[in-house]
């Protein structure tokens, strides 16, 4: 009887498909949850990177293992609290001791179930402590405090540091100490002035010395070429002699300019080095830093909520607009953002017309038969080829064959001297490689949208006396533009995030120059470039202090995702605009 009843309920549910509704929706919910989790994590940890957190000062017991050179005071930011069992620690120590004293380890094993909690604290000052993070057991901590006067300083080298500023020493030897009323204002002022001087130095280096250097390099190359001719042929023609003279003269002239500018920059640098800030660490040890090395500072324990937002905003802007320092460990990621953007642009410009033309031929002109079917299958399969394969192809075809040919045709001088121009990885080749990678995506999307153009429209056009090409050009392409853009959006999303093939065709961890800048001819397609995806890999997994790099990795990931979202969003808005224009209301 009971069995019957349950049968009945099952029957009443089955025809409506209720069970499957739950089952299928479960799949969706699971997927959504994972995506939301991923985005949430990246958002949270990415933004955390910029958020100024209070700095805690810890007093340790004298006998604590964490005591550093007899100092018991540390200041830093608590990164996390974690529990570890003694066994784990024992195992770690055992490895450290190389199993010297097994007996003792056995003794510790007896307490295996005991756990201890400890803080993981970002203490900064890599130059002093060796690594950025230190561990402090809760049991060892005597006192915790949040000192008002401590500052968090962003330094040129060795990462951030936490300290109490004591006095400022100016060029002329005069000093302002913390007892003086205007100490904090003065500190603020000198740091700001130092920053201004540094940006002036940068301007001289990049904008003024850069082009001079470039010209000198080119002229030197010409000179070397002439010298080589002299060596091999024994003699130079008169015209060549005259040219050599001209070159030498010009180089000397440029060198003069260069030295002038360099002196100016050196003077500024010297000023920045001669003003120094003396400070004390939390444990009372003193130290000093030149104003040129102190980029920015704030009082983390004095900030109100809105000031925190302000500091976070400044840090965000610095990160997004700044250039990387210290092997990408600190500083900004602007070159990587810019490189990713330009490369994606090159890719889109290359892939869209190519894919659209191919799709038009396949759909409109090719005789539909086994051959076209085979081609179509091949295209679909191309989308599944691992991207590194495209990277290898790009290296072989674009870089070596095409780049090599361009070099031997137009840059033979440089090539002979062993400095290839296009014959080495560059942003153009990277863009083209990714274009190839995404070609199937664009072809498939375009073909679909072309075949969705109603037959009536084509017939109407032909009946008006239009040729096939006129019909395609005037009606079919405009009508399938939204579909083409969809393909482009997919291609951009994939292309901007792709890293593996790029490593072979032009991405570098640190590029000295941007692919687009103020030096003629402004767009330098042959230059190597930085890419956010590769930057993540480099910072996160190739840097000397990868633990300290974790927040940077999250922040960079956040920016990469934001960039892709922005690119896609603009393409989607464009698509919607076109859709509105081309699809009327009714029908």
Partner 1 sequence: MNDSTETLQQAPDIKQKETDNPDKTDFRQDYISFRNYNFFYGPTQVLFDVNLDIPERQVTALIGPSGCGKSTLLRNINRMNDLVDGIRHEGELLIDGTSAYDPTVEVISLRKRIGMVFQKSNPFAKSIYENVVYGLRVAGRKKKSSLDEAVETSLRRAALWDEVKDRLGESAFGLSGGQMQRLCIARAIANNPEIILMDEPCSALDPVATGKIEDLIHDLKKEYTIVIVTHNMQQAARVSDQTAFFYLGKLIEYDETEKIFMNPAQKQTEDYVRGRFG
464 binds partner 1 (CB under 8 A): yes
Q: Which stretch binds partner 1 (CB under 8 A): 121-129, 343-351, 426-434, 473-481?
A: 473-481
**Residue 568 Cβ vs partner 1, minimum distance, rounded to whole Å:** 25
Q: What is the 3-state secondary structure (H, E, C) of 426-449?
A: CHHHHHHHHHHHHHHHHHHHHHHH
Q: How far apart are CA 308 and CA 52, in angstroms?
A: 6
For partner 1, the closer of residues 418 and 454 by Cβ is 454
The mark string for 323-362 relative to partner 1 (x by CB under 8 A, - otherwise) is ----------------------------------------
58 touches partner 1 by CB under 8 A: no
User: 300: closest CA among 154, 163, 152, 185?
Assistant: 152
- Smallest Cα–Cα separation from 340: which of 455, 507, 203? 507
CA distances from 489 to 39, 516, 566, 583 (A): 20, 23, 11, 20
Omega prior to 506 cis, within 30 of 0: no
Cβ atoms of 437 and 499 closer than 8 Å? no
Is 28 one of the binding residues for partner 1 (CB under 8 A)?
no
Q: Is 477 in the site for partner 1 (CB under 8 A)?
A: no
- 460 is a site residue for partner 1 (CB under 8 A): yes
Q: Which of 331, 333, 287 is nearest to 154 (CA)?
A: 331
**DSSP assignment of 112-160, as one string?**
TT-EEEEEEEE---HHHHSSSEEEEEGGGEEEEE--SS-EEEEESSS--
Residue 470 interacts with partner 1 (CB under 8 A): yes or no: yes
Burial class, 221, CB count within 10 angstroms (exposed 0-12 / middle 13-18 / buried 19+):
middle
Q: Counting contacts by CB under 8 A, is residue 462 touching partner 1?
A: yes
CB contact set of 328 (below 8 Å; sequence gap of 6+): 509, 510, 535, 538, 539, 543
- Please identify, using beta-carbon distances, which residue of 226 and 574 lies nearer to partner 1: 574
Q: 318, 283, 288: which is closest to 123 by C-alpha? A: 283
Cα 258 from Cα 170, distance rounded (Å): 29
Q: How many Å apart are CA 472 and CA 479, to the nearest integer?
A: 9
**372 touches partner 1 (CB under 8 A):** no
Indicate the residue among 19 and 457 with the shorter CB distance to partner 1: 457
Q: Does 370 bind partner 1 (CB under 8 A)?
A: no
Residues 399-458 within binding reach of partner 1 (CB under 8 A): 454, 456-458
Q: Does 461 bind partner 1 (CB under 8 A)?
A: yes
Residue closer to partner 1 by CB (options 211, 478) is: 478
Judged by CB under 8 A, the stretch of 180-188, 430-438, 462-470, 505-513 that binds partner 1 is: 462-470
With respect to partner 1, which residue has the nearer C-beta, 481 or 511?
Answer: 481
Please tell me whether residue 496 binds partner 1 under the rule CB under 8 A. Answer: no
Q: Total residues contacting partner 1 (rule CB under 8 A)?
A: 26
Q: Please give the residues from 173 up to 192 whose contact with partner 1 meets the rule CB under 8 A.
A: none
Sign of CA dihedral 147, 150, 154, 160: negative
Tell me whether strands 175-177 and 294-298 are parallel, antiparallel or unpaired: unpaired
Q: Between vectors from CA 197 to CA 195 and to CA 202, what angle results, nearest 5°?
A: 95
* CB of 40 or CB of 460, closer to partner 1: 460
Among 83, 127, 241, 459, binds partner 1 (CB under 8 A): 459
The one among 444, 479, 491, 561 contacting partner 1 by CB under 8 A: 479
Closest CB to partner 1 among residues 261, 375: 375
As a dihedral over the C-alpha atoms of residue 182, residue 187, residue 191, residue 193, rounded to 10 degrees, the angle is 20
**Residue 575 CB, nearest distance to partner 1 (Å)?**
15
Give residues with Cβ within 8 angstroms of 511, minimum separation 6.
335, 339, 527, 528, 529, 530
Q: Which residue of 306, 465, 520, 522 would you call a contact of partner 1, by CB under 8 A?
A: 465
x/- mask, partner 1, residues 546-585, rule CB under 8 A, reads ------------------------------------xxxx
Distance in Å, CB of 483 to partner 1, minimum: 14
User: Which residue number, 167 or 458, has a Cβ lying nearer to partner 1?
Assistant: 458
CB of 584 to partner 1, least distance (A): 2
Q: Where does this chain bind partner 1 (CB under 8 A)?
A: 367-368, 454, 456-467, 470, 474-475, 478-479, 582-587
């Amino acid at each position: 009887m009971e069995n019957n009843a349950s049968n009945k309920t099952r029957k009443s549910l089955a025809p409506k498909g209720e069970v499957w509704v739950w089952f299928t929706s479960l799949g969706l919910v699971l997927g959504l949850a994972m995506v939301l989790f991923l985005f949430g994590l990246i958002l949270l940890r990415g933004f955390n990177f910029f958020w100024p957190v209070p700095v805690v000062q810890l007093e340790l017991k004298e006998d604590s293992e964490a005591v550093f050179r007899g100092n018991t005071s540390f200041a830093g930011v608590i990164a996390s609290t974690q529990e570890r069992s003694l066994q784990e620690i024992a195992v770690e120590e055992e490895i450290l001791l190389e199993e010297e004293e097994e007996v003792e380890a056995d003794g510790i094993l007896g307490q295996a179930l005991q756990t201890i909690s400890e803080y993981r604290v970002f203490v900064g000052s890599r130059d002093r402590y060796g690594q950025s993070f230190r561990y402090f057991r809760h049991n060892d901590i005597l006192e915790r405090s949040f000192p008002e006067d401590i500052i968090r300083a962003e330094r040129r080298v060795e990462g951030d540091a936490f300290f109490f500023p004591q006095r400022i020493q100016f060029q002329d030897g005069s000093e302002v100490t913390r007892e003086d009323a205007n100490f904090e204002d003065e500190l603020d002022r000198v740091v700001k002035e130092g920053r201004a001087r540094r940006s002036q130095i940068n301007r001289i280096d990049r904008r003024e010395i850069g082009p001079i250097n470039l010209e000198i390099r080119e002229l030197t190359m010409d000179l070397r070429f002439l010298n080589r001719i002299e060596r091999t042929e024994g003699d130079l023609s008169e015209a060549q002699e005259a040219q050599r003279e001209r070159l030498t003269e010009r180089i000397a002239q440029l060198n003069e300019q260069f030295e002038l500018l360099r002196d100016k920059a050196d003077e500024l640098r010297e000023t920045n080095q001669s003003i120094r800030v003396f400070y004390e660490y939390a444990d009372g040890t003193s130290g000093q830093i030149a104003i040129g090395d102190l980029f920015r500072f704030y009082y983390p324990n004095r900030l109100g909520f809105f000031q925190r937002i302000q500091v976070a905003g400044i840090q965000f802007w610095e990160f997004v607009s700044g250039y990387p320092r210290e092997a990408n460990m600190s500083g900004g990621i602007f070159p990587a953002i810019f490189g990713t953007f330009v490369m994606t642009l090159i890719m889109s410009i290359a892939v869209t017309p190519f894919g659209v033309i191919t799709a038009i031929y396949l759909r409109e002109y090719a005789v539909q038969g086994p051959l076209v079917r085979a081609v179509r299958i091949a295209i679909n399969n191309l989308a599944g080829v691992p991207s590194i394969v495209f990277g290898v192809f790009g290296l072989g075809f674009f870089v070596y064959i095409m780049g090599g040919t361009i070099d031997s045709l137009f840059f033979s001088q440089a090539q002979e001297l062993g400095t290839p121009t296009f014959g080495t990885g560059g942003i153009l080749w990277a863009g083209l490689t990714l274009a190839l990678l995404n070609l199937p995506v664009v072809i498939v999307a375009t073909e679909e949208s072309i075949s969705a153009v109603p037959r009536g429209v084509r017939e109407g056009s032909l009946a008006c006396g239009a040729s096939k090409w006129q019909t395609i050009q005037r009606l079919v392409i405009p009508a399938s533009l939204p579909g083409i853009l969809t393909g482009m959006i997919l291609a951009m999303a994939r292309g901007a995030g792709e890293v593996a093939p790029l490593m072979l065709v032009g991405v570098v961890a640190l590029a000295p120059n941007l692919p687009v800048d103020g030096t003629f001819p402004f767009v330098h397609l042959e230059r190597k470039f930085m890419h956010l995806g590769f930057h993540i890999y480099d910072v996160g997994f190739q840097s000397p202090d990868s633990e300290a790099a974790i927040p940077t990795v999250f922040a960079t990931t956040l920016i990469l995702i934001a960039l892709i979202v922005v690119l896609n969003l603009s393409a989607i808005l464009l698509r919607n605009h076109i859709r509105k224009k081309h699809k009327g209301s009714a029908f």
